[in-house]
Amino acid sequence: MELKDNPLLQQENYFKGYDESVEKLKNNPQLIEFDKLCYEIFEKTDAGKRFLELVTDRYLLAPAGAPSSKDFEVQAVWAEGVRYSFLLMLNAIKSHKQRIEAKGSNA
């Protein structure tokens, strides 16, 4: 008697959809282009590195505003928007570095 896989007893792969989405995005030309540009501008040039140092000090680590200010809510929303945009660029740089390292390990 030959044993066959019973579909009712198979464990469901909960990550299947997630893995498929990651594979689609991994080589998305629009994402790759942005990541590469951020890497080339901010990681490979001295001016870009200095710019990110200043941005980190002035916008990423700075407080959002004075809580006693009348328009603190507006200041906080503005600051978070600025932070988010720079964090996206930092993540793009990191992502492109990972692609470079992955290609290097496959060589």
Instruction: Please report, for the chain, the start and end positions of each structural domain, with discontinuous segments joined by +.
Output: 28-106
pLDDT of residue 102 exceeding 60: yes
pTM for this predicted structure:
0.67
- Over residues 51-59, mean pLDDT: 93
Q: Write down the pLDDT at residue 36.
A: 94
N-terminal to C-terminal alpha carbon distance within the chain:
47
Q: Write down the pLDDT at residue 107.
A: 44
